[in-house]
């Protein structure tokens, strides 16, 4: 399986934080990798332009976008938790989340 684009990571990342507690990013990455069925080869895949792992990069970008949409709160470096707004979204049972062009004004759309 190839590592999907970062939008595919938005909902799994949000759900990784769903219990409402403080969660280190490293633990969130492990939860997301398990939920998405990423194997060792997927997790070892690197971006062509850098030494960064592709899955890590995608999860990090998903976290940043979720923070900008006020669905996740960054508590300190490497630790986030789901926001009140973020807890409400999964209750609507979206199957995907998408990134709009202008995050600060448009935010997230769910389908």
Residue 103 predicted with pLDDT over 60: no
Q: What is the pLDDT of residues 80-96, one digit of tens each?
A: 999 988 888 766 666 66
Q: Binning pLDDT at 50, 70 and 90, where does residue 104 land? A: very low
**pLDDT tens digits for 31-64?**
999 999 999 999 999 999 888 999 999 999 999 9
Retrieve residue 48's tokens: 């062509």
φ, ψ for residue 41, nearest 5 deg: -65, -40
Residue 108 in any domain: the answer is no
Find all residues with CB under 8 Å of 52, minimum gap 6, and list them: 46
pLDDT of residue 45: 92
Q: Which two tokens stand for residue 71?
A: 């669905």
Whether 57 is in a domain gets the answer yes
| Rounded CA separation 110/30 (Å) | 24
CATH code, 21:
1.10.10
Instruction: Kindly state whether residue 83 falls inside one of the protein's structural domains.
Output: yes
The answer to whether residue 106 scores a pLDDT higher than 50 is no
Residue 105 placed within a domain: no
Domain count, the chain: 1
34, part of any domain: yes
57 touches 9 (CB < 8 A): no
Query: And the tokens for 9?
Result: 């990571």
Give the neighbor-by-neighbor strand order of the sheet with 72-76.
23-24, 79-82, 72-76
Does 11 map to a domain?
A: yes
Q: Which of 13, 5, 9, 2 is nearest to 38 (CA)?
A: 2
Please tell me the pTM assigned to this model.
0.80
Q: Which domain holds residue 69?
A: 7-92
């Amino acid at each position: 399986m190839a590592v999907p684009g970062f939008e595919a990571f938005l909902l799994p990342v949000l759900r990784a934080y769903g219990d409402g507690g403080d969660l280190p990013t490293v633990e969130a990455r492990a939860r997301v990798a398990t939920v998405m069925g990423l194997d060792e080869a997927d997790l070892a895949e690197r971006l062509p332009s850098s030494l960064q792992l592709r899955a890590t990069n995608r999860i990090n970008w998903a976290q940043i976008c979720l923070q900008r949409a006020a669905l996740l709160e960054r508590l300190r470096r490497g630790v986030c938790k789901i926001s009140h707004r973020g807890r409400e979204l999964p209750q609507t049972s979206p199957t995907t989340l998408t990134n709009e062009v202008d995050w600060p004004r448009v935010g997230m759309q769910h389908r």
